[in-house]
Structure 1
Amino acid sequence: MKLLSVLVSMFLLGGIGYAQLLPLPIFNPLDPRFDDWQPPGPGDSRGPCPALNSLANHGFLPHSGKNITAIDIVRGTFEGLCLSPEFSVAVGVAELLKSYTLASFDLHELSNYGFIDHDCSLSRANIGDGDNNDFNETIWSVPLQVLKNYSAITPQAIGGARTARDLFDIAHNPNQECGARSIAFGALDNGLLIASLGGSPKLDWVRSVIEHERLPTNLGFTPTPLLINNSPIILTLALASLLSQPYLIEILGNTVIKMIKNPADLLAEVFPIKGYNITYITSVLSLAGFSSVNFQNFL
């Protein structure tokens, strides 16, 4: 991490309680950045998450993908995906803050295992196979064959696609670590992707995000906020995708996954809230412009 960023972060945190440094961000469906897509240039950094890479390509995150902070992630995912701040914390920002505080990082650093990266990704190789950062067309072709059978991508459709990917990995890769957290994180990925693209996206829209890392406004997608606090929606979609994979769960024989019966169980597997400093996280969210985030539903 960059020493200057650490020093700046210490200064900023010292001022918490005296001033809110950034205004509350606004989700604007007419934001011109939705239509302004630029692929990464030489030297730009991109990571293992197609959604974050898409936000960088549209300018909701720094286009270089470098010197990004957790505050940038929270604000960028809200403005570009209408992702509520407490959910962005649950799916990765909390881990970043635990390890990096407010120091800056480059997007490719997110491929360090345990932040947002996990085995059995829809479009990336496992960390034990070498490059777990960049889009892998061969891996993506497995779930894509399932998704091609659907005109609209439902939780059940993407659940079936993820089952195909996981079973392929189990059959061909003895080094895979497709454990409870990977399965649960994959389900949240499913819910987030579907919710961010309107709830029942076209296959072309999903392919745009995963293959081209582009929000599909050029294909007819219209950004629409489902709910400002959209955690219940994402979790409901995620759980539906997970429960549509009984064969995979049985093959894995994982008792943790078998015990996930409701959205709270799923969230607890990915975000064990008692393992994080919520006071610190809340202070950081206040710096990002979100002064009244409630984690009560996560307890």
Structure 2
Amino acid sequence: MLFNVSQFVFTLGALTQVARAYDNHEWKAPTADQVRSPCPGLNTLANHGYLPRSGRGITIPDIIDGAVAGFNVGNDSILQAAKFGLLSGSSLTTMDLDALALHNLVEHDASISRQDWALGDNLHFNETLFSALANSNPGSDFYTPTSAGEVQKIRLDDSIARNPNVTNTNKEFKLRSRESALYLSIFGNITTGVAPKKFVNIFFREERLPIEEGWKRSETQITAETMNAMSVTIHAASNWTASQACEPLVIGPGVVL
């Protein structure tokens, strides 16, 4: 059998075009059979095809590669949370996005955009709760580390007032503060944390990269180190104190961490 070079080149070219068409990262709303998480960042990556659009069978390398490609966020910023995500299901190597709604794993109370688990739907975006962020830093078109910390306090005060089972340990505080530093870094200045409100609002409300509105992926990689200074400001503005010590993590019958 003779090897047909021209046919091979044509086939390879066709496959490459199909791959490029699949990975053009156009935003697409999830379909009814696709699942999403309580995290707008992971959902946005899936909606743009940086993660499997199905939201299923996602690996830690998928998350690491997707975060770099979509946001230019380095793995030291998300690796720990990604590893914990594996505990949400029975697979040793993959996770489904909707399983991340498991309470107190990476999901937490006093979220900027999700209801507390004890109070209702902790999976889907909640506009009423998001208004704490949307109405913050009035008179300005930007969010800042100070306003982000103030929003964290507003949301926690609300959870404490309405949720008798609120979980408020150092773990939750660090998760919430890291999330605030991330959205400010991704959509704003990675040094100052000043971020246009229109970019951040689109991200939370539509789980979409605001490319059409002028946003561009940071040329400098976002890391734990780049977020250190703004984290200090966020922490101070949060005026946070713990309500209880860290609780053990129950991951199955008789298995406690």
Per-residue CA deviation, residues 121-146 of structure 1 (Å, 9 max, x unaligned), is 00101121232111111211233222
SS in structure 2 opposite 1:135? coil
Q: Counterpart of 1:113 in structure 2: which amino acid?
A: H
- Which of these residues, 140, 150, 171, is aligned with residue 150 of structure 1? 140
- Which of these residues, 206, 210, 214, is aligned with residue 208 of structure 2? 214
Closer/same/farther in 2, CA of residues 191 and 38 from structure 1, 3 Å limit: same
Highest CA radius of gyration, 1 or 2? 2
SS in structure 1 opposite 2:225? helix
- Which of these residues, 191, 195, 202, is aligned with residue 196 of structure 2? 202
Counterpart CA distance in 1 for 2:96 and 2:137 is 32
Kept after mapping to 2: 8 A contact 1:69/1:102: no
- What residue ranges of structure 1 are gaps of 5+ in the alignment? 1-30, 257-268, 270-299
Kept after mapping to 2: 8 A contact 1:147/1:203: no
Alignment of 1:159-198 (within 5 A): 159-198=149-188
Kept after mapping to 1: 8 A contact 2:116/2:159: no
Closer/same/farther in 2, CA of residues 171 and 84 from structure 1, 3 Å limit: same
SS in structure 2 opposite 1:163? helix
Counterpart CA distance in 2 for 1:97 and 1:183 is 21
Counterpart CA distance in 2 for 1:202 and 1:216 is 11
Alignment of 1:219-258 (within 5 A): 219-227=213-221, 230-246=223-239, 249=240, 252=241
Counterpart CA distance in 1 for 2:155 and 2:104 is 20
Counterpart CA distance in 2 for 1:51 and 1:239 is 22
- What residue ranges of structure 2 are gaps of 5+ in the alignment? 1-22, 247-257
Identity %: 27
Please give the TM-score of this superposition, normalised by the length of structure 2: 0.77
SS in structure 1 opposite 2:211? helix
Q: CA RMSD in A?
A: 2.3
Closer/same/farther in 2, CA of residues 235 and 32 from structure 1, 3 Å limit: farther
- Which of these residues, 14, 32, 48, is aligned with residue 38 of structure 2? 48
Q: Counterpart of 1:41 in structure 2: which amino acid?
A: T
Deviation at 1:231, TM superposition (A): 1.7
SS in structure 1 opposite 2:105? coil
Per-residue CA deviation, residues 78-115 of structure 1 (Å, 9 max, x unaligned), is 1111111222213x122135676753221111111233
**Counterpart for residue 121 of structure 2:** 131
Kept after mapping to 2: 8 A contact 1:124/1:132: yes
Counterpart CA distance in 2 for 1:74 and 1:88 is 8
Q: Counterpart of 1:72 in structure 2: which amino acid?
A: D
Aligned length: 219
**Counterpart for residue 85 of structure 1:** 75
**Counterpart for residue 292 of structure 1:** none
Structure with a larger share of its residues in helix: 1
**Counterpart for residue 60 of structure 1:** 50
